[in-house]
Amino acid sequence: MTVAQPTYVNEKANRDLSMIPGSNGLPFIGQTFDFIDDNLGMTLANYKKYGPVFRMSLVFQNIVNTVGPEFLRQVSLDQAKVFSSQAGWEGMVGEFFQGSLIVQDFENHRMQRRLMQTAFKAESLHGYIHSINNIVQASLKQWPKQEPMLFYPAVKRLLLDIAAKVFLGAQLEEQNERINGAFVDFANGATSIVKKNWPGFAYHKGLKGRQVLDNFIRQRIDEKRQGDGTDMFSHFCREKNDTGDYYSHQEITDHVLFLLFAAHDTTTSALTMAMQLLAEHQDWQTELRDTIGRIETDIPTFDQLGRNIPLLDYTFKEVLRLYPPVPGLIRRTIKPCEIGGYEVPAHTMVGTSISANHHLPEYWHEPFKFDPMRFSESRAEHKQHKFLWAPFGGGGHKCIGLHFADMLFKSVLLNLLKTHRVQFADSKQASGKILYVPFTRPKDNLPLVLISER
> Please, what is the minimum distance in Å from the beta carbon of residue 451 to ligand HEM?
27
> Please, what is the minimum distance in Å from the beta carbon of residue 349 to ligand HEM?
13
> Please, what is the minimum distance in Å from the beta carbon of residue 258 to ligand HEM?
6
Name which of 256 and 449 has its Cβ closer to ligand HEM.
256
Q: Closest by alpha carbon to 93, among 82, 78, 104?
A: 104
Q: Closest by alpha carbon to 105, among 9, 190, 10?
A: 9
Name which of 65 and 423 has its Cβ closer to ligand HEM.
65
> Please, what is the minimum distance in Å from the beta carbon of residue 18 to ligand HEM?
27
Tell me phi and psi for residue 329, to 5 degrees. Answer: -110, 150
Name which of 391 and 442 has its Cβ closer to ligand HEM.
391
> Please, what is the minimum distance in Å from the beta carbon of residue 145 to ligand HEM?
27
> Please, what is the minimum distance in Å from the beta carbon of residue 272 to ligand HEM?
11
Q: How does DSSP assign 426-437, residue by residue?
A: SGGGGG--EE-S
In the bound state, the residue with its beta carbon closest to ligand HEM is 401
**What is the distance between the alpha carbons of residues 383 and 324, in angstroms, rounded to a whole number?**
17
Name which of 187 and 449 has its Cβ closer to ligand HEM.
187
Name which of 204 and 385 has its Cβ closer to ligand HEM.
385
Name which of 103 and 202 has its Cβ closer to ligand HEM.
103
- Interface residues with ligand HEM (CB under 6 A)? 85, 101-102, 113, 258-259, 262-263, 266-267, 270, 324-326, 329, 391-393, 397, 399-401, 404-405
Name which of 149 and 400 has its Cβ closer to ligand HEM.
400
**What is the distance between the alpha carbons of residues 163 and 221, in angstroms, rounded to a whole number?**
17
Please tell me the number of Cα atoms within 13 Å of 105 on its side-chain side. Answer: 22
Q: Classify residue 422 by burial, with Cβ atoms within 10 Å: 0-12, 13-18, 19+.
A: buried
- Helical residues (DSSP H) of 151-281, grouped into ranges: 151-162, 176-190, 202-218, 221-226, 232-238, 249-280
Buried b (16+ CB within 10 A) or exposed e, 325-340: bbbbbbbbbbeebebb
> Please, what is the minimum distance in Å from the beta carbon of residue 400 to ligand HEM?
5
